[in-house]
Structure 1
Amino acid sequence: MRPRRLKNEINVVPYIDVMLVLLVIFMVTAPMMTTASIDVPSVGKAAQPPAEALQVIVRADRTLALLAPGKSERPLSRNELSEAIVAAQRKNPEQAVVIAGDRNVKYQAVLEVMDDLQQKQVKRIGLLVQPTGK
């Protein structure tokens, strides 16, 4: 009696059948899919802050300052900052607020300021960016 030998062959016919079925399914469903377009803001559009916007300056050492149009920059704490912006928005509900973060500031510090303002129901919050040419 001879010892049994192992077959080193793979039967690929079932795999080909499965692939052909998947191909037919994709060919039938592809024309039914709808594509969506997303408008992503570019830096060129966002580089110009709105006229008369309040600027919140976040420095690398996490200190905050408020720069109002026509006034000098004044350092504030987080609570004082949100109160000053809420008071400005009571006078003008469409008052824009722009957050200018230092290049070396942690992203978390900018998000904390933005979160504070959103909790105080401040509308029209944006981020100030520099154009790439500067």
Structure 2
Amino acid sequence: MIRRRRNRRPLMAEINVVPYIDVMLVLLVIFMVTAPLITTGVKVDLPRVATGPLTGSQTEAVVISIDRAGDYYLDIGEDRGQPTSEEMLYDRLRVVLGYRPGTPVLVRGDAGVNYGRVVRAMSIAQQAGAAEIGLITMPPHDPENP
């Protein structure tokens, strides 16, 4: 009987991680480029008042923003950053508060907006079923501690 010579290489037991590193670096670049574009918000000049910090339940609140022109913005859903009407604000708050009862509602009103618009937003939130409604402010400017 003829013996065959085995010239096979031994199996390599190491995982080649180079392709995984390449994919990770590409994803990192994509996230670094798109992250600033995802950040949406409404430019609001908040009034400066000395207040206490938010409690744990208020950090998961729904925020209604009112810009200087008096337009309402809601920080939920795919239309975040888009102005909304009073009727749409009511409908969306009603859905959110129906799904998560007891969720606090916070109002970010620009310092130059008509006070009636802020009160109207609070009234809409109350009619939609909000149990807690609060106002968001900025701390007063301290010249010694900027």
> TM-score, normalization: structure 2?
0.55
**CA shift for structure 1 position 43:** 3.3
Return structure 1 stretches of 4+ with deviation > 6 angstroms: none
**CA shift for structure 1 position 75:** 2.2
Question: Which digits, 9 at most, give the CA deviation of each residue in 1:49-92, with x for residues without a partner?
Answer: 721111101111111101139x9433211110111111111111
**Is the partner of 1:100 in helix, strand or coil?**
strand
In the alignment, what sits opposite 1:90? Answer: 98
For the aligned residue pairs, the C-alpha RMSD in angstroms reads 2.6
In the alignment, what sits opposite 1:132? Answer: 140
Which consecutive unaligned segments of at least 5 residues does structure 1 have?
A: 1-41
Is 1:44 the counterpart of 2:56? The answer is no
Looking at CA atoms only, which structure, 1 or 2, has the larger radius of gyration?
1
**CA shift for structure 1 position 115:** 1.4
Give % identity: 22
Cα contact 2:105–2:125 (8 A) shared by 1: no
The 1-side partners of 2:81 and 2:50 are apart by 25
In the alignment, what sits opposite 1:4? Answer: none
Cα contact 1:67–1:74 (8 A) shared by 2: no
Pairs within 5 Å for 1:73-112: 73-112=81-120
> TM-score, normalization: structure 1?
0.59
In the alignment, what sits opposite 2:14? Answer: none
**CA shift for structure 1 position 119:** 2.4
Cα contact 1:94–1:124 (8 A) shared by 2: yes
Which consecutive unaligned segments of at least 5 residues does structure 2 have?
A: 1-48
In the alignment, what sits opposite 1:59? Answer: 67
The 2-side partners of 1:78 and 1:72 are apart by 15
